[in-house]
Amino acid sequence: MAKIIAVTGKGGTGKTAITSLLIRYLTKGDKVVLAVDADPDTNLPETLGCETSKTIGDIKEYMHDERDNLPPDINKESVLESKLYEILEEMPGYDLLVMGRPEGSGCYCYVNNLLRGIMNKLVNNYDVLIIDAEAGLEHFSRKIFRNVDDLVVVTDGSRRGLRTAERIRELVGELETDISNIYVIANKVTDANHEKIAGTAKELGLELIGMIPVDEMIVERDLAGEPLFDLPDDSAAVQEIEKIAQKLGL
């Protein structure tokens, strides 16, 4: 069984950077990872330094548009599975799947149902599934992923970031997805806000499992639009991620 980790948080807090550093950590070991970009903004491929062109959204659209043109007795699950394998970007140590654009106006109940079945099978081929998810957790409400082991909420130093974490925790209660643990990672932490963040997290009853300092190397690469995947091992963020990964049992 693959361990499923979802990383989420308010926009701009650095959840995509943290997701890619967690993937970086995992691929250094011998774990086979499925990375999923479930944020419609789709930044994960670029952060990983991986070029993708097609998304799940595209293949759902394909199934929708082509359904009357496909041979009538074709097995649509098998067609969708093959299309999904086509858009899986195969990188050394991990595969990347991009969820992409939202659905059009038609009914996607059937395609989503097929997709759920295919994803359930696909997930078994990996040791870890790591999902970069937007804060609304849309793909969870559609039950494309079930039984998330750890939901990691990334926050910056702001109270709003932590409030988002609190809201996400409430949202999780309403979802039918089974989420075992919720953790918080504080990002872009400075000496000045360190204690304040820890205090607010405690006050809100959120379990803080790591505080990543502001890392000049990440700031530079973000500005230049360069991937974070090949950050050196001595980067402060990389070292903190290592500790976090161990806490997550990775």
Task: Tell me whether residue 91 or residue 238 sits nearer to other proteins (CB atom).
Answer: 91
Asked if residues 157 and 194 have their Cβ atoms less than 8 Å apart, the reply is no
Task: Tell me whether residue 114 or residue 231 sits nearer to other proteins (CB atom).
Answer: 114
Instruction: Write the CB contacts of 136 (distance below 8 Å, at least 6 apart in sequence).
Output: 171
What is the nearest approach in angstroms of other proteins to the Cβ of residue 126? 9
What is the nearest approach in angstroms of other proteins to the Cβ of residue 129? 13
**Coil, strand or helix at 65:** helix
What is the nearest approach in angstroms of other proteins to the Cβ of residue 102? 16
Cα-based torsion angle of the residue sequence 202, 168, 212, 50 in order, rounded to the nearest 10 degrees = 170
Task: Tell me whether residue 106 or residue 136 sits nearer to other proteins (CB atom).
Answer: 106
What is the nearest approach in angstroms of other proteins to the Cβ of residue 183? 29
d(CA 193, CA 162): 13
What is the nearest approach in angstroms of other proteins to the Cβ of residue 116? 10
**Per-residue tokens: 42:** 């789709």
Task: Tell me whether residue 83 or residue 101 sits nearer to other proteins (CB atom).
Answer: 83
d(CA 8, CA 16): 8
Task: Tell me whether residue 92 or residue 205 sits nearer to other proteins (CB atom).
Answer: 92
**Coil, strand or helix at 148:** strand
What is the nearest approach in angstroms of other proteins to the Cβ of residue 181? 27
Point out which residues bind other proteins (CB under 8 A). Answer: 32, 64, 67-68, 71-79, 81-82, 85-86, 90, 92-93, 95, 105-107, 109-111, 113, 121-122, 124-125
Task: Tell me whether residue 81 or residue 156 sits nearer to other proteins (CB atom).
Answer: 81
Dihedral sign of CA atoms 186, 188, 189, 193 in order: negative
Asked if residues 182 and 169 have their Cβ atoms less than 8 Å apart, the reply is yes
Residue 237: closest CA among 28, 21, 43, 44: 21
Asked if residues 238 and 232 have their Cβ atoms less than 8 Å apart, the reply is yes
